[in-house]
Structure 1
Amino acid sequence: MGLEIIIFFGAILFGIFVYWTESKGNGLYRFFNKLFNSKELQMKVGNKKGFIYKQDLLPRVLFVAFTFLIVALIIQFLTPIAIFSSYYGISAFASAIFGTLIGTYVANFVLKSGEVIEEQSDSIEDVVKDSFNKGKEFLEDLTHKDVKVVQEAKKEIKEEPKAPEKSARERLKDKGLM
């Protein structure tokens, strides 16, 4: 179980690396695109799409699984390591595929959030400044209002106390209702 976890986290890092390198350039994908497609169907010059970068879920899963399958078959037949002959080998194989897919989505999230932060950095700075200024104004209003309230309370205290009013019972007696 420990080796599978190590393979899983290594595959996540591998997926992040693959996604990041494809986001920088997609030469291999362009090569295969030119090889397999006619002139009309080839991708445009500005298109950044790659095997993993900017792909939907299904093509991404197929590419990662197919790549790992080819690598596993090469290892199976050229070395004494038997990947597909035991549960542990198949489990490690599945962990590597799943970890790589998770790594590609983690890298997608990080790259997209970095782009959003760069685009919004000026507006975030303005929002922080505005909220800071509003906070200052609010504190000034509170301090001025507190002084006014204290002064009004002092005035009320200095005034002479009013004569105590009659209770409701006494008023009813005065009217003759009780």
Structure 2
Amino acid sequence: MGTDIIIFIVAVLFGIFIYWRESNGNGAYRFINKIVNSKELQMSADNPKGFVYKQAFIPRLIFIVSIVLIAALILEFLTPISVFASYYGVSAFASFAAGSLLGTYLANIVIKSSKVIEEQSESLEDKFENVVEKGKEFIDDLKTRDAKVVEDTSEDIKTEPEPKVNEKSARDRLKDKGLM
């Protein structure tokens, strides 16, 4: 189980490396495209698409699995390591393919987010400054409201009517009306 985890982590790093290399340049994909396709069907010069870069899931999966399969076949026939002879070899093959595919998607997220952050960095600074200014205004409003509330409550305390001493009690008023 420990070797599968190590193989999976190495495969994720391998997938990140493949995606990063293709995001910088797609010479191999462009070369294969020239060999396979006619002049009318060849990709344009400014198209950044590669084997895994800006590719849909199925072509990306096929490329990763075929690369891992070629590497496994080379290991099988040129070295004493037998990849397909046991469960562990097949498990390592599957772990490497899945990890590489996951690594390409992780690299995609990182590259896209870094581009968005670079594009939005100036507007983010402006937004942050606006938020700070609004926060200062809000705090000033709270301070003035608190001061008004304190003044209002102190006025309420001062203006409370004092009880009248000369007033008759309720009992006396009822006696005057003859109800008691």
TM-score by length of 1: 0.90
Q: Deviation per CA, 1:114-158: give whole Å up to 9, x if none.
A: 111111112211111111111111111111111111112222222
CA separation of 1:160 and 1:49: change in aligned 2, threshold 3 A: closer
Q: Deviation per CA, 1:54-74: give whole Å up to 9, x if none.
A: 100000000110111111111
Q: Which amino acid aligns with 1:117?
A: I
Q: Distance in 2 between matches of 1:160 and 1:66?
A: 89
Rg larger for: 2
Q: Which amino acid aligns with 2:148?
A: K
Instruction: Name stretches of at least 5 consecutive residues in structure 2 with no aligned partner.
Output: 165-169
**Which residue of structure 1 lines up, in the alignment, with residue 167 of structure 2?**
none
Equivalences for 1:22-101 in 2 at 5 Å? Answer: 22-101=22-101
**Which residue of structure 2 lines up, in the alignment, with residue 2 of structure 1?**
2
Q: Which amino acid aligns with 1:63?
A: F
CA-based RMSD of the aligned residues comes to: 2.1
| Paired-residue identity, % | 57
TM-score by length of 2: 0.89
Query: When the two structures are aligned, how many residues end up with a matched partner?
Result: 171
CA separation of 1:160 and 1:45: change in aligned 2, threshold 3 A: closer
Q: Distance in 2 between matches of 1:159 and 1:62?
A: 85
Instruction: Name stretches of at least 5 consecutive residues in structure 1 with no aligned partner.
Output: none
**Which residue of structure 2 lines up, in the alignment, with residue 131 of structure 1?**
131
The list of structure 1 runs, each at least 4 consecutive aligned residues, that deviate by more than 3 angstroms after superposition, is 173-176
State the secondary structure of the residue aligned to 2:49: coil
